[in-house]
Amino acid sequence: MEITDVPFAVLRFQYQLARFPLQLIEEQVVAGMSSEAPTRLFYERWLGGLDAAVGKMLGDPDLEKRGAALIERSDALRRAAQLDATATQNQERADDELKAKRGKAIEDQKDARAVKEREVEEARTAAEERKGAAAEAAQKRTAAAKQQADEHAAQLKRSAEAAKREEQATIRAAEQKATGCGAQAGRCSGKTQRRCQQARTGGSGRGIGGRREAERQSERANDA
């Protein structure tokens, strides 16, 4: 050892003494932290920088290399932590996007189901309306047919009643004429009396046609 190396040796020894508390903090406090904790990385890099600077200044290559290694280790861990943080953020972003897409797919499925249910309900309502309209139309047609049948039956009834009244009137007229003919029987010839007899009995046997024939016979008897 040269005489000029003595001051540097003393300074290196003094640095080792000054660094002892820092080494103690590193072993007791910093070592308990996560290897990627920002506080630990900052402290180790700062300590590495200090060792590298002092080693270079005091001509201690071992101390300088140890400081450089500590700096490199701290930088590597910091980059790894940044990459992990970036990967975590990307994963969280991907998870959020996946959840958003899944939620949108669920909402689209619900909307499609709601649209389908609404279409089914509208179709059911339309079918019920058509069914009701058809039933109403059928009821109207049935009511119209019934009304027409009732009107036709009423007309037939009126016609029958009119025919009955006409028949009764014809019968009464024939009976009246037959009675008049009987009163004149003494003055009538045998042929004429037979006509009068037919006039009295023909109305009930031959209906309206017979009664009209009886009327004509009675008129001819009266003329005789």
What pLDDT, on a 0 to 100 scale, did the predictor assign at position 58?
A: 82
The per-residue pLDDT for 196 is: 52
> What values do phi and psi take at 131, rounded to 5?
-65, -45
Cα gap 218→82, rounded to integer Å: 141
pLDDT digits 0-9 by tens, 166-179: 888 888 888 887 77
**Can you tell me the distance from the alpha carbon of 46 to that of 40, in angstroms, rounded to the nearest whole number?**
10
Q: Which pLDDT belongs to residue 2?
A: 45
55, exposed or middle or buried, with CB in 10 Å at 0-12, 13-18, 19+? buried
pLDDT digits (tens, 9 = 90+) for 104-128: 889 898 898 898 898 888 888 888 8
**Claim: this prediction has a pTM higher than 0.85:** no
Number of neighbours of residue 182 by Cβ within 10 angstroms: 15
Low-confidence ranges of the chain (pLDDT < 50): 1-3, 203-206
- Nearest to residue 214, comparing CAs of 188, 187, 163, 180? 180
Which pLDDT score, from 0 to 100, does residue 1 have? 45
Measured CA to CA, the distance from residue 7 to residue 59 in angstroms comes to 11
